[in-house]
Each structure stands twice: as C-alpha cells, then as structure tokens.
C-alpha cells in the first residue's frame, strides 16, 4: 500500500525530530519535503542527504516544489507568528495542516482525548508540550468529577527550549491554560512553564493540580492511570512519577478561594524523549512530535 506524503515546515529541532519519527515509525506516511528559512540548518542538510526535496524559502518555496501537489498533510513546526502566515499561504491549496505552534488557528487536538472529534478539520492545533502532557490528566479527572480549577506546572530543560519556545512563552501559557478548559474540561485553568537550567539537563516533569468536590478517589486514580496508558501508546516515555495524591481543601484554605472547599488531586508526571534526533531529556519536544505524528496519520487515513 502506498504511503501518504507529508511536508514539514521548520528545519529546527522539532521539525527534524518529526522528520525522523515519520521515517522510522510510520507505516502510513512518508516525508516528501522539508522547508526552512536557514539554508545552513542541520535539518535541511539531513533531509537533503536522505533524498528529500528541500527549500530554504519557507512556505513559498514549499508551494513551488514539484512534489507539493502530492502532499496530503503539512506539519508546521515554526512559530506562532510564522504559522499565521503559512496557514494563509496554504489555504488556497486545500492541504490538511497540523500546527505544532501555539498559534491556535484551528481547534486544539490532544490525541488521547479528542482526536476523533476533529478529523474533518483543515487545520488542527497541537496546543503546547505542556498541554499534550497535562490536558489528558485533567480530562481523566473530569471524567470522574467536575474540575473547578486546574493548574499545571511544566518544567523543561533549558537546553531543550529553542528560540521558538522562548519567543512564545506568553502564547504557551495562554494556549495551555485555555486547552485545560476547552479540552480538559476544567472550569478555570492556569499554566506555568519553568526552564530548568540544571546540569546535567533534567527530563520534562509536569505537575497537575485539580480542585474537585469530594469524590471516589479510587475511580479518579483508575481514570488517571488509564489515560496515562493511552498517552504512552504513542509517547513511550510518558509515565506517572508517583501515585496520585489527594488532599482535602476546607474553608479558609487559600485554595478554597479558587473553587471552594473540596479535594485537591495532584498528579506528577515525567516525559522522557525517544532520542530519535533530540536528546532523551527533551521529552517536551518529543511529546509534541509524537502527538503530531499520531494526528497526521489519522488525518491522512481519512
């Protein structure tokens, strides 16, 4: 069976890792082209050595490549600002677009939670690395008890945060917080990102807090563990760091000001990268490319 062709815009760390994931892991996709804006980038050099079509003229260069007509899905691994330009340029050609930036032009998609609801969309947004890691947990808790307030802290190695990530910190927190509500089901969401300068670099760690009413704690734990297994099916390095924790929140507790008395559910996660191109500590980038690969495969199949 012939594979569907995809193109990648962005020849940095995320785009290059995504290229290797498609080549090594996908049974249904093949990379037809990579577009960047830096003619000296390692990603374009590697793509060229693999025999792929390349251009350093961005989306306009991609559209001019002979193979562009055969491309079914375009994966954009640039920045929020660049994606807005790229999406407008691609729109007349009817290509399906997977957006790995925080631009959020299309609906938020977290494969383990809501992919099936958005397979007909022309542009889908992969939220953020923190969103891909934590939204599934908030959704799992919401499945058992309404989440009044959800707060997540995503800690990533400073070395794994490239120029695009650093330039989009505001978009990261806003997009992630909104996805906690829209996809995760929280009444109110908040997101914090920490760039950890530790040496040697630490892998991605995420903390998820959910404020709920008193509920069946065993059911919450089971729902969280089931969701972790669903995410780990396409992100093998995704796992619980310790058991799910519960703490009563009573009147007078500062947390009660965020959603009233109830129960605080705390979930601690870590994400280790597969090291296809990026180092293993860059789980924040790996979860984005792994999730994007899962989405692209389903879009192309449809």
Q: Cite the active site residues.
A: 129
106 known ligand binder: no
CB 156 within 8 A of CB 116: no
13 is in an annotated binding site: yes
Question: 35 with 15: CB under 8 angstroms?
Answer: no
Does 11 count as an annotated binding residue? yes
261 annotated to bind ligand: no
User: Starting from the edge strand earliest in sequence, which strands make up the sheet with 53-55, in order?
Assistant: 53-55, 29-35, 4-9, 71-76, 96-99, 123-125
Buried b / exposed e along 16-41 (16+ C-beta atoms within 10 A): bbbbbbbeeebeebebbbbbbbeeeb
Find out whether 12 is annotated in a ligand binding site. yes
168 labeled part of a ligand binding site: yes
Check whether 273 is labelled as a binding-site residue.
Answer: no
Q: Is 259 annotated as a binding residue?
A: no
Spatial CA neighbour of 8 closest among 67, 78, 69, 70: 78
Q: How far apart are the first and last CA of the chain?
A: 15
- Binding residues for NAD(+), as ranges, are 11-14, 160-168, 284
- Binding residues, as ranges, are 11-14, 160-168, 284
């Amino acid at each position: 069976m012939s594979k569907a062709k995809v193109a990648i815009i962005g020849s940095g760390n995320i785009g290059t890792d995504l290229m290797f994931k498609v080549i090594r892991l996908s049974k249904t996709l093949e990379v037809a082209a990579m577009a960047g804006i830096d003619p000296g980038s390692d990603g374009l050099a590697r793509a060229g050595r693999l025999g792929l079509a390349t251009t350093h003229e961005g989306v306009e260069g991609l559209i001019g490549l002979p193979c562009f007509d055969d491309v079914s899905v375009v994966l954009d691994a640039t920045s929020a600002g660049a994606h807005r330009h790229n999406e407008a340029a691609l729109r007349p050609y009817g290509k399906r677009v997977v957006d790995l930036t925080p631009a959020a032009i299309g609906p938020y998609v977290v494969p383990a939670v809501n992919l099936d609801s958005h397979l007909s969309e022309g542009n889908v947004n992969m939220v953020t690395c923190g969103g891909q890691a934590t939204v599934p947990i908030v959704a799992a808790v919401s499945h058992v008890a309404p989440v009044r307030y959800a707060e997540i802290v995503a800690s990533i190695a400073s070395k794994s945060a490239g120029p695009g990530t650093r330039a989009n910190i505001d978009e990261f927190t806003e997009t992630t917080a909104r996805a906690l509500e829209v996809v995760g089901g929280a009444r109110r969401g908040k997101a914090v990102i920490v760039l950890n300068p530790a040496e040697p670099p630490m892998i991605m760690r995420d903390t998820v807090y959910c404020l709920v009413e008193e509920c069946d704690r065993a059911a919450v734990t089971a729902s969280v563990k089931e969701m972790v297994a669903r995410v780990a099916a396409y992100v093998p390095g995704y796992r619980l760091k310790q058991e799910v924790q519960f703490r009563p929140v009573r009147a007078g507790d500062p947390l009660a000001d965020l959603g009233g008395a109830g129960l605080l559910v705390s979930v601690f996660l870590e994400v280790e990268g597969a090291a296809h191109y990026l180092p293993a500590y860059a789980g924040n980038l790996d979860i984005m490319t792994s999730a994007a690969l899962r989405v692209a495969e389903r879009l192309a199949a449809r």
